[in-house]
Amino acid sequence: MKNLRQQKIIELIKDNVIDRQEVLQAKLKECGFKVTQATVSRDIRELGIIKSDGEDGVYKYRTSKEKEKIEINGKFALILKQAVSKVSYANNLIVVKTYTGMGSAAGAAIDAMELEDVLGTLAGDDTLLIIAHDNSSAEAVTEKLNELIG
């Protein structure tokens, strides 16, 4: 029962904005788990769940892996901000112009961010080609990159 409950907790915090233990307790009850606040607190501690703000600035419970990914993506965003001069797209192809010698660094950062709309990258000295799933994915990735580089 404990393992099922803890799996459900992980699922709930990934799929919902849960900012308080009481909210998590209520969601668990909706799923058929009768738990006390003390049980929820113990499960949170055992699972290594933390409360932090994300890229959207909202504080909520997250798995420690989610927090690591947010911090890592922040570091890669800094690399992109320093390396990229221009981002544009045509169809499902995104062309990223970088400063001389920074194409590979920008490509490695994009790859490490594991953006779900990106199929792959091809880096040169001062240019990076990103292949997206489709036109709308290319537009979304271009917008995200332009937001990151300011």
At 52-85, the pLDDT tens digits run 876 677 788 887 665 545 555 677 888 899 999 9
pLDDT (0 to 100) of residue 70: 52
Regarding whether 107 and 126 lie in a shared domain, the answer is yes
End-to-end CA distance of the chain: give it in Å, rounded.
48
Which residue bears the tokens 């990258």? 121
Residues in CB range of 113: below 8 A, 6 or more apart: 72, 73, 76
At 88-105, the pLDDT tens digits run 999 999 999 999 999 999
Which residue bears the tokens 């594991």? 114
pLDDT (0 to 100) of residue 72: 54
- Residues β-bridged to residue 50: 62
Structural domain boundaries enclosing 141: 71-149
77: CATH: 3.30.1360.40
Predicted structure pTM score: 0.56
Number of domains in the chain: 2
At 141-150, the pLDDT tens digits run 999 899 888 8
pLDDT (0 to 100) of residue 55: 65
pLDDT (0 to 100) of residue 78: 86
Regarding whether 75 and 143 lie in a shared domain, the answer is yes
Among 14, 32, 62, where does a domain finish? 62
Closest CA to 117 of 136, 98, 103: 136
Regarding whether 135 and 97 lie in a shared domain, the answer is yes
